[in-house]
């Protein structure tokens, strides 16, 4: 295994009084030391030399990235320090003892490299690679996937550990979305420091992260290059073991994602959907961020959701998180699941600062897109009538969606007859609202008594008003088609008024 000047310098400091000067690279490029015993003027690229100051030529020819361990200090080093890296042992030291010490150093790293590549050639198991490296780094090492799920465990650690939302927010606050960064990155979270190396596949897609805990041992500069070396090996190991990142659940997730996006299904995805046709009940949940400043990455939210809800699948879509939940484990003895789902979702939405729409229950996963549209519609229509709510069920807001769809792109007033327009105009200037009387009357299934109670007027007054409304509109309210048309128009007016009020409130909040 090749090393760099930082690693050699750190090792020498443990035994000798040494200082490092001159240009150097952090890349692992130098091999075992060569003994410099003659007057050869040329020092080759990426070579490590061991020499005494008396043997060094006054006018050397130095190529790039030369590292020289020098025993002794003196003026002639001024010819070297601007063109190569010097590790100067200032005390008297035995030349061959220093060489032996350096060889032991390289042996140590070679042994580690050999163990790693033996694991890679046999199983390429990330857990074995990490177990082999923990004792080498003398600090805990973790590997997580793109959804921030732990792929490896430490001995004695819980079987299932996860990154909490608060920790994730700190993680992302330390660096602006570092999942696209290559190389080692030092993070500080909750007064603890971590050395992180992102993992990428062959097409430069982020697939996870390896990170080392400081664990009471301050990080040194050479740790960066060694962590990057380990990260590269883990990338190759994950390429050899794609099942670590994918499985049957991933196939089902991809199938649902294709259905939602109206993409064709593969044969394997169709097969996986058929396996799930066993009478199970599902709901689709669409989650949006209620707080635009929320920093939690969507992949993390997906993984956290799947950990909280058994047999669930979730994936990002545009600005939302789409989740499909098997409600079997949420059902009580009567087959009711809404209370349990509502309780768990409320807690999850609080943790992630989100709002959610929930579809009707369904059994056939091939109808996933219909359920997705229901969940989206629940959020869109629920936000109009209950802007302070964070959980919207499609069944509650289905009527609003039907009304909006029935009016199309036209405003409600486009469906007014001339007679209805006159009645609305009358209501604006009159103390009595015939439109409100009509709305309450139709809402009470044409009951004069209930309408009188709701409006706090006499029953005969209601009869008189309804008779006048029928005359003014030239309609018979006993006709079901007439009633339906009027109810749709009245509901559309109500919805438009809600939208106007919401826009007005939003503008007032923006001013604040």
437 plus 388 within the same structural domain:
no
The answer on pLDDT for 380 being more than 80 is yes
pLDDT band at 243 (very low <50, low <70, confident <90, very high): low
Which residue in 277, 238, 240, 287 sits closest to 255, CA to CA?
277
152 plus 213 within the same structural domain:
yes
The answer on pLDDT for 146 being more than 80 is no
The pLDDT assigned to 293 comes to 41
Query: Long-range CB contacts (< 8 A, 24+ apart) of 9-16?
Result: 9/87, 9/222, 10/220, 10/221, 10/222, 11/101, 11/102, 11/105, 12/69, 12/87, 12/89, 12/101, 12/102, 15/101, 16/89, 16/91, 16/93, 16/98
293 plus 193 within the same structural domain:
no
Output the six-digit token pair for 189: 């979270």
Examine residue 427 and state whether it is found in any structural domain, yes or no.
yes
What's the number of domains the chain is made of?
A: 4
CATH classification of the domain holding 150:
3.30.450.40
Unique residue bearing structure tokens 């993992």: 199
254 plus 383 within the same structural domain:
yes
The answer on pLDDT for 501 being more than 90 is no
Domain boundary among 346, 380, 406: 406
Which of 492 and 15 is assigned the larger pLDDT?
A: 15
316 plus 352 within the same structural domain:
yes
Range of the domain at 464: 412-511
The pLDDT assigned to 277 comes to 60
Unique residue bearing structure tokens 């909280």: 308
Give the model confidence (pLDDT) of 450-498 as tens digits.
Answer: 999 999 999 999 999 999 999 988 999 999 998 888 888 888 888 777 7
Please measure the distance between the N-terminal and C-terminal CA atoms of the chain and give it in whole angstroms: 62
267 plus 240 within the same structural domain:
no
How many other CB atoms sit within 10 Å of the CB of residue 293? 6
240 plus 181 within the same structural domain:
yes
Question: In sequence order, what DSSP letters do the residues of 326-366 get, joined into one string?
Answer: E-GGG--TTS--HHHHHHHHHHHHHHHTEEEEE---BS-GG
Give the model confidence (pLDDT) of 302-312 as tens digits.
Answer: 878 888 888 88
143 plus 211 within the same structural domain:
yes
Give the model confidence (pLDDT) of 60-82 as tens digits.
Answer: 999 999 999 999 998 889 889 89
Average pLDDT over residues 259-264: 92
**Cβ pair 101, 19 in contact under 8 A:** no
Report the C-alpha gap between 407 and 485 in whole angstroms. 11
Which of 71 and 296 is assigned the larger pLDDT?
A: 71
The answer on pLDDT for 41 being more than 70 is yes
Mean pLDDT, all residues of the chain: 85
The answer on pLDDT for 159 being more than 50 is no
The pLDDT assigned to 301 comes to 82
Report the C-alpha gap between 92 and 117 in whole angstroms. 39
pLDDT band at 5 (very low <50, low <70, confident <90, very high): very high
- This prediction has a pTM of 0.57
Residue 89, phi then psi, degrees to nearest 5: -90, 110
Give the model confidence (pLDDT) of 92-106 as tens digits.
Answer: 899 999 999 999 999
210 plus 257 within the same structural domain:
no
% of residues, the chain, pLDDT over 90: 44
Examine residue 447 and state whether it is found in any structural domain, yes or no.
yes
**Cβ pair 441, 454 in contact under 8 A:** no
The pLDDT assigned to 88 comes to 95
20 plus 58 within the same structural domain:
yes
CA angle 50, 53, 56 (to 5 degrees): 75
Which residues, other chains included, contact 423 with Cβ-Cβ below 8 Å and sequence gap of 6+?
Answer: 434, 435, 469, 472, 473
Which of 122 and 500 is assigned the larger pLDDT?
A: 122
The answer on pLDDT for 400 being more than 70 is yes
How many other CB atoms sit within 10 Å of the CB of residue 490? 18
256 plus 389 within the same structural domain:
yes
372 plus 467 within the same structural domain:
no
The answer on pLDDT for 446 being more than 90 is yes
Which of 17 and 277 is assigned the larger pLDDT?
A: 17
Give the model confidence (pLDDT) of 101-136 as tens digits.
Answer: 999 999 999 999 999 999 999 989 999 999 999 988
Domain boundary among 218, 244, 270: 244
CATH classification of the domain holding 291:
3.30.70.270
The pLDDT assigned to 75 comes to 87
The pLDDT assigned to 24 comes to 93
The pLDDT assigned to 376 comes to 93
The answer on pLDDT for 418 being more than 80 is yes
The pLDDT assigned to 152 comes to 85
pLDDT band at 169 (very low <50, low <70, confident <90, very high): low
Enumerate helices (H) and strands (E) in the chain, giving the number of each. Answer: 16, 16
The answer on pLDDT for 347 being more than 80 is yes
Which of 422 and 7 is assigned the larger pLDDT?
A: 7
pLDDT band at 158 (very low <50, low <70, confident <90, very high): very low
The pLDDT assigned to 424 comes to 82
Examine residue 299 and state whether it is found in any structural domain, yes or no.
yes
Domain boundary among 406, 428, 449: 406
Which of 161-165, 244-248, 325-329, 460-464 bottoms out in mean pLDDT, i.e. has the lowest? Answer: 161-165
């Amino acid at each position: 295994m090749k090393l760099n000047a930082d690693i050699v310098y750190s090792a020498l400091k443990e035994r000798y009084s040494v200082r490092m000067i001159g240009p150097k690279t952090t890349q692992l490029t130098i091999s075992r030391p060569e003994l410099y015993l003659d007057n050869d003027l040329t020092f080759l690229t990426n070579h490590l030399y061991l020499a005494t100051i008396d043997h060094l030529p006054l006018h050397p020819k130095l190529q790039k990235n030369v590292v020289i361990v020098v025993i002794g200090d003196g003026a002639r080093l001024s010819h070297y320090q601007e063109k190569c890296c010097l590790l100067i042992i200032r005390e008297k030291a035995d030349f061959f003892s220093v060489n032996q010490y350096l060889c032991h150093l390289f042996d140590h790293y070679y042994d580690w490299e050999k163990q790693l590549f033996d694991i890679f050639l046999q199983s390429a198991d990330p857990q074995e690679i990490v177990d082999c490296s923990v004792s080498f780094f003398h600090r805990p090492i973790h590997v997580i996937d793109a959804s921030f799920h732990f792929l490896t465990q430490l001995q004695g650690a819980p079987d299932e550990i996860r990154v909490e939302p608060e920790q994730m927010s700190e993680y992302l606050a330390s660096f602006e979305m570092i999942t696209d960064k290559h190389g080692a990155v030092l993070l500080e979270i909750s007064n603890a420091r971590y050395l992180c190396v992102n993992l990428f596949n062959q097409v430069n897609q982020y697939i996870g992260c390896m990170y080392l805990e400081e664990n009471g041992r301050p990080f040194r500069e050479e740790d960066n290059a060694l962590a990057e070396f380990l990260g590269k090996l883990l990338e190759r190991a994950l390429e050899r073991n794609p099942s670590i990142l994918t499985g049957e659940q991933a196939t089902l997730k991809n199938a649902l994602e294709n259905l939602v996006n109206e993409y064709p299904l593969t044969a394997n995805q169709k097969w996986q959907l058929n396996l799930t046709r066993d009478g199970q009940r599902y709901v689709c949940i669409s989650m949006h961020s209620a707080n635009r400043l929320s920093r939690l990455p969507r992949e993390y939210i997906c993984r956290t959701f799947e950990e909280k809800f058994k047999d669930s699948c979730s994936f990002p879509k545009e600005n939302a998180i789409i989740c499909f939940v098997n409600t079997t484990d949420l059902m009580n003895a009567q087959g009711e699941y809404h209370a349990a789902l509502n309780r768990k979702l409320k807690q999850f939405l609080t943790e992630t600062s989100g709002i959610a729409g929930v579809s009707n229950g369904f059994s056939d996963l091939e109808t996933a897109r219909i359920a997705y549209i229901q969940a989206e519609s629940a959020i869109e229509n629920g936000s109009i009538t209950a802007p302070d709510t964070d959980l919207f069920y499609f069944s509650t807001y289905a009527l609003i969606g039907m009304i909006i769809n029935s009016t199309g792109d036209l405003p409600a007033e486009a469906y007014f007859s001339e007679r209805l327009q006159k009645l609305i105009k009358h209501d604006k200037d009159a103390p009595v609202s015939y439109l409100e009387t009509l709305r309450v009357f139709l809402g009470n299934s044409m009951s004069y008594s209930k309408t009188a109670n709701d409006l706090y007027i006499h029953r005969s007054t209601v009869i008189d008003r309804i008779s006048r409304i029928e005359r003014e509109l030239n309609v018979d309210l006993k006709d079901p088609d007439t009633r339906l048309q009027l109810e749709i128009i009245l509901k559309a007016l109500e919805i438009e008024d809600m939208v106007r009020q919401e826009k007005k409130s939003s503008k007032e909040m923006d001013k604040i």
